[in-house]
Structure 1
Amino acid sequence: MAVNIVDVIRENGVVGAGGAGLPTHVKAEATVDTVLVNGASCEPLLMSDPYLMEEEVDTMIRGLEAIMDCTGAGKGIICLKGKHEKAVKAVKDAVARDASGRLECFVLKDFYPAGDEQVLVYEVLGRTVPERGIPLQVGAVVSNTESLFNVARAMEGKPVTHRYLTVGGEIRNPMVVKVPVGTLVSEVLEFAGGPTISDYKVVDGGPMMGRVLPDTAQPVTKTTSGLLVLPPDHNVIAAKVMDPDKLRRITNTVCCQCSRCTDLCPRNLLGHSLHPHKLMRVLVNNELDSDIAKEALLCSECGVCEKFACPMMVSPREVNARIKRILMKERITWESKGNTLAANPYRESRAIPTKRLIQRLNLAKYDVHPGYAGEFTPESVSIRLGQHIGAPAKCVVSAGDSVSCGDLIGEIPEGAMGARVHASIDGTVASVDNGVVVIRK
């Protein structure tokens, strides 16, 4: 009997490893002509994707071919930045060994946000994803490097139990490390030698789109791509933790409507109807029912406006996000006017070099290329049942149960979109509380 690839992916809990965690079986059910591997390593400082392409390229390609087979795609294009020379060589060598002729390597320039899936589709295929749309609408699936690595392992009957992540910033031993899902951040930092400063904050993800953790007692999830330790007054941290009301007061008085945020907005440069400088006046003028307000729904929250474009150091991204939350709560949707989308003729010259972005973010001293430190396994893990887009998994274990790494502990609720969750170490279920399953060796 032929293997149903979609079912295998669903059963083994594969989710998008490079974004918000969309269950991968949802993408795998589509019909497209091209699958793009997003190996852009878009966020500054994050290095786990280049590592996987260097060391596990054949495994990743098996995952890519599985997705191509179930989507009917005739072409698979592995996309990565030219600056990752070892990874580029590994990928090109692997493509050269492919006898099918279905695989290609596309070398990207080093700009941000090259890894935004709509930007990637345009760069590689020259196709413009519709406003508020997804790549499926233009015949493409975009999947992250580690997601495809996990697809390949799923085809071998191995569920998602571990995560590769970058540990950087003010840490004694910057590294790429493999840890069980559910490992506490505090233990990962300790394994990396500990922070070099006594007062610090930790960003889960990259400096542009990552979130500041409330404390280090938080668990690593399937979507944790990096842990960056930074001083609490660092400019990467400041806007992420600023009180929303204070931010609004500053925005109301400081924004000078220079339009630089719009000029450099990646979605605007693709031709989308997004004008961050106009959105800055929506809350001030209480115009949440206007057409301009609805433009916030088109924002990817990449952070270019906040971290690079604005000369006044205010945050159009946070304003856009706040408006978006209000509109989505009220179930207000984007209604396309049906205009033909055309990329800005100055788009290429307005691309933001990653090196300049790193300098602007004051991250240059942390811009190292950490080696792989191997695997770290803690004495216990705290596994969230909700670590993906969709409904949280339904717990199928109880305190006192013995489990082995890979055993099912959370099932997709009947009729819901979600992802399965599996034990990441051998041990005993210590507790099930508030959507978290604690397992101790």
Structure 2
Amino acid sequence: MGASIVEKIRETGVVGAGGAGLPTHVKAEATVDTVLVNGASCEPLLMSDPYLMEAEIDVVIRGLEAILDCTGAKKGIICLKGKHHKALVSVKEAVAKDTSGRLEYFELKDFYPAGDEHVLVHEVLGRTVPERGIPLQVGAVVSNVESLLNVAYAMEDIPVTHRYLTVAGEIKTPMVVKVPVGTLVSDVLNFAGGPLISDYKVVDGGPMMGRVLPDINQSVTKTTSGLLVLPPDHTVVAGKIKDPEKIRRITNTVCCQCSRCTDLCPRNLLGHSLHPHKLMRVLDSQVLNSEIAKEALLCSECGICEKFACPMMISPREVNAQIKKVLMQERITWESKGEPLVANPFRDCRSVPTKRLIQRLNLNKYDGHPDYAGEYTPSVVNIALRQHIGAPATCCVSAGDMVAKGDLIGEIPEGAMGARVHASIDGVVESVADGKVTIRKS
């Protein structure tokens, strides 16, 4: 049975909806004792996961049960924050109806980054994932809420064609909306009533780990969790668009070695050998030869050091990311010392409350619970053949082909890790170029 479930997940193109997009069939092939449903919604402003737990919990649980069956896990724990009251009620009622004894829920505290896989596993199970490791190494699989929704649909042979996302910030009607994969960002913003300001930037994802889009002609992917419209000089945007070399230069010069970035680093607090303040003193010429530099490989790039901890308002996160990129290009790996990882005894009191983070990010005016606006279907979609970790899908349609929603348009290359891609609307293939398939509604 497990093999058939994995194959259905593979065939329907399910990927992790809450992170970098690891193809879900890879996780489903694991053997673990526990599956954690990541409903932390830890990035400020993003509300699609709480909505799905509130409105579609029965479907999510069907997906969870499928993953339990194929991994052999005895327990599935739905993890969410108590502040999402309606979602918590729905989850409690659903778990109470379970007769298998496999389902539980866990009420998380409201801190950032509660949804980081390493943090979540420690909070719920009391297990510490190894440095540079994955939850599988401690007997757990972590799956996002929308990923499990898509797994449930996969059991009915329905491929991934849509994405739930939050539209917030300087927008007329903040909302949670369901759109086809490949929908242009400009069309989503228009559907939400349009930006309230003429000069703005759009963040794809959350304010902490999201990226600033180069323009609004970009497309929604399977991993797009939110679109935040903000002024170009907003604190969330400014650091993301600053020249990386300039950031490195300023950081090396200004850092006062106060160590607050290390004191509040979520991975350091779990006992990992990551000391951001020491990395601030690593010069370009030392990256490949410094043992301290290798610590950058342990950074999750959550942004606490940059957006909350640093009194000098510089960017340890960006410096860590730059160092890590060089190390990974040179295929330098982290070598654990093999010592037991012991969590910092002050970990609980150093966790960053989401409310304080929102204040620090100057996002108070945008913080709310936007309503679900239903499903929006545009006249054209521009679907990327690579929107997941791994190899891009191989296009299997040509310009002029008629396609229906759910038709396969991109296949996993033979022998590679990847995910299938499907048409998200009915229409005609207008073009195949630059790794994207453009479909216009007929």
What TM-score range do you get, normalising by the shorter chain?
over 0.9
What residue is the counterpart of 1:425 in the other structure?
A: 425
TM-superposed CA distance for 1:3, in Å, is 6.9
Asked if the contact 2:394–2:411 (Cα under 8 Å) also holds between the matched residues in 1, the reply is yes
Q: State the distance in 2 between where 1:393 and 1:131 align.
A: 31
TM-superposed CA distance for 1:253, in Å, is 1.6
Q: State the distance in 2 between where 1:76 and 1:16 align.
A: 17
Q: State the distance in 2 between where 1:289 and 1:194 align.
A: 50
Identity of aligned residues (%): 81
Letter in 2 for 1:135: P
What residue is the counterpart of 2:112 in the other structure?
A: 112
Letter in 1 for 2:104: E
Q: What pairs up with 1:284-363 in 2 under 5 angstroms?
A: 286-363=286-363
Q: State the distance in 2 between where 1:285 and 1:159 align.
A: 48
Give the 3-state SS of the residue equivalent to 2:292 in structure 1: helix
Give the 3-state SS of the residue equivalent to 1:294 in structure 2: helix
Is there any run of 5+ residues in structure 1 with no aligned partner, and where? none
Give the 3-state SS of the residue equivalent to 1:409 in structure 2: strand
Q: State the distance in 1 between where 2:422 and 2:19 align.
A: 20
Q: State the distance in 1 between where 2:165 and 2:244 align.
A: 30
CA shift in 2, pair 1:183/1:287, >3 Å: closer
What residue is the counterpart of 2:145 in the other structure?
A: 145
What residue is the counterpart of 1:176 in the other structure?
A: 176
What residue is the counterpart of 1:24 in the other structure?
A: 24
Letter in 2 for 1:142: V
Asked if the contact 2:236–2:361 (Cα under 8 Å) also holds between the matched residues in 1, the reply is yes
Asked if the contact 2:287–2:323 (Cα under 8 Å) also holds between the matched residues in 1, the reply is no
> Within the alignment, does 1:269 sit opposite 2:240 as a pair?
no
> Within the alignment, does 1:12 sit opposite 2:12 as a pair?
yes
Asked if the contact 1:406–1:424 (Cα under 8 Å) also holds between the matched residues in 2, the reply is yes
Q: What pairs up with 1:67-146 in 2 under 5 angstroms?
A: 67-146=67-146
Query: What is the total number of aligned residue pairs between the two structures?
Result: 441
Asked if the contact 1:399–1:431 (Cα under 8 Å) also holds between the matched residues in 2, the reply is yes
Q: State the distance in 2 between where 1:255 and 1:325 align.
A: 21
Asked if the contact 2:207–2:236 (Cα under 8 Å) also holds between the matched residues in 1, the reply is yes
Letter in 2 for 1:174: P
Q: State the distance in 2 between where 1:340 and 1:108 align.
A: 26
Asked if the contact 2:3–2:70 (Cα under 8 Å) also holds between the matched residues in 1, the reply is no
TM-superposed CA distance for 1:288, in Å, is 3.4
TM-superposed CA distance for 1:283, in Å, is 2.0
Asked if the contact 2:2–2:69 (Cα under 8 Å) also holds between the matched residues in 1, the reply is no
Asked if the contact 1:252–1:284 (Cα under 8 Å) also holds between the matched residues in 2, the reply is no
Letter in 1 for 2:232: P
TM-superposed CA distance for 1:246, in Å, is 1.2
TM-superposed CA distance for 1:248, in Å, is 1.6
Q: State the distance in 2 between where 1:15 and 1:86 align.
A: 27
Asked if the contact 2:287–2:327 (Cα under 8 Å) also holds between the matched residues in 1, the reply is no
What residue is the counterpart of 2:434 in the other structure?
A: 434
TM-superposed CA distance for 1:286, in Å, is 2.9
Give the 3-state SS of the residue equivalent to 1:50 in structure 2: helix
What residue is the counterpart of 2:54 in the other structure?
A: 54
Q: State the distance in 1 between where 2:115 and 2:248 align.
A: 30
Is there any run of 5+ residues in structure 2 with no aligned partner, and where? none
Letter in 2 for 1:374: G
Runs of 4+ in structure 1 over 6 Å off: none
TM-superposed CA distance for 1:249, in Å, is 1.9
TM-score by length of 1: 0.99
Q: State the distance in 2 between where 1:283 and 1:240 align.
A: 21
What residue is the counterpart of 2:228 in the other structure?
A: 228
Q: State the distance in 1 between where 2:287 and 2:202 align.
A: 36
Q: Deviations over 1:315-374 (max 9, x none)?
A: 000000000000000000000010100000000000000000000000000001100000
CA shift in 2, pair 1:309/1:285, >3 Å: farther
Give the 3-state SS of the residue equivalent to 1:291 in structure 2: coil
Q: State the distance in 2 between where 1:223 and 1:315 align.
A: 25
CA shift in 2, pair 1:355/1:62, >3 Å: same
What residue is the counterpart of 2:218 in the other structure?
A: 218
